[in-house]
Structure formats: structure tokens, C-alpha cells
Amino acid sequence: MATLTTDREQRVSLIAFSQDGLSALLRIEDAAVGDLFKTVDLTVAPVPKLIKTWLFQSLTEPVALKQALRAIKPQAPGPVSQKNQAGVSLVAADDGERIVVFAMKGERAVPIAILPRLRDEDGVLAEVSVTKLAWDPTGTRAVVIHAQKFAAAPGFESEWVHVVAVDPASLPF
């Protein structure tokens, strides 16, 4: 629970991983700060450590993105993947009290992380949605982006990023 703070609303998008898989580029829409790109250190789990930020407004977004991508030296080719090189997929399930992240290959799945659901002052659990699951290029870290929303007034919804270190040798497939 200590990794989930509810001080302000954020929307998070995973843009790219570095070639070595040690860092990632995130696009953040922050209610208190504004729009920004962040590079984060993925070797620090469960909450990635901030490396650098680039604040931008709509007109300066392309320039900020170019600078951020140059700094991170992204993996090529293309988009982040929910499946690693060994064919292990990431899936998530909500068991009512928490979010369970699984590594899955074929029909076999093993839990690799458990994320708590937040509760409001009355003890009502937040609505949860996992917005992104992705493996870093090395297949040793999973990135989980999830949203939690409270229905009670004044209403609050935010997204969080968690890093899960996974030893591929510990997986049963």
C-alpha cells in the first residue's frame, strides 16, 4: 500500500524501453504538474525511480518527445510487448481484494505479483483496471500500469506504475 499514493490524479502511458531494458520512457498527464515525459529506472522495484523529466505543452510535445527518446536510446523495433522472447505472456486478474499478475505460457500460469486494491474512507474497494502489461527487452522485468477509481464523492481516479523483477529460471516453463 505504501507504493500507492492518492494525492493527485495521473494518467500514464508506456512509450518505450531502453535497448538494455534498464529504463523506460513514460508519458504522464498529471493533474498537479501538467503533461510530461519521464525516464525511469526499472532496476528499482516495485516503484521505478525517476531519472529525468521533460515538461511540455501541446505545441512543444514533439520536441520533448524527440529529446526524451534520444536520451533513452529506445529498443528497436517498435512497440512494447505483453509477451517476452521465450513466449511468456503477462495477464492480470482481479480476485476481489487485489490484482494478481501472472506469467503465462500455454495453459499454465503462475503468479508473479500481487497489487492491493485501495479502499475509501468507508472501506469500499476501488474499481481497478490494468491498462498496460509489458516485458522489458531482457524478459527479466514486467511493467504493470493500473488504474484505481473511487466512486464516492468527490471521486478520484489515478494510474500507477509497478515494476516486477522476474527470474526467468524460476518460471516453470
Q: Which residue has the higher pLDDT, 59 or 119?
A: 59
DSSP class per residue in 126-153? PEEEEEEEEE-TTSSEEEEEEEEEE-ST
Share of the chain above pLDDT 90, in %: 64
Q: pLDDT tens, 78-128?
A: 667 888 888 999 999 988 889 999 999 999 999 999 998 888 888 889 999
Q: Give the per-residue pLDDT at 100.
A: 95
Average pLDDT over residues 26-45: 93
Q: Give the per-residue pLDDT at 142.
A: 95
Q: Which residues contact 134 (CB under 8 A, 6 or more apart)?
A: 14, 17, 80, 81, 82, 90, 142, 143
Asked whether residue 1 carries a pLDDT value surpassing 70, the answer given is no
Q: Give the per-residue pLDDT at 78.
A: 60
Q: Give the per-residue pLDDT at 76.
A: 65
Average pLDDT over residues 2-27: 83
Please work out, in degrees rounded to the nearest 5, the angle formed at the alpha carbon of residue 162 by the alpha carbons of 14 and 88: 75
Rounded Cα–Cα distance for residues 53 and 140 (Å): 25
Mean pLDDT of the chain: 89
Share of the chain above pLDDT 70, in %: 92
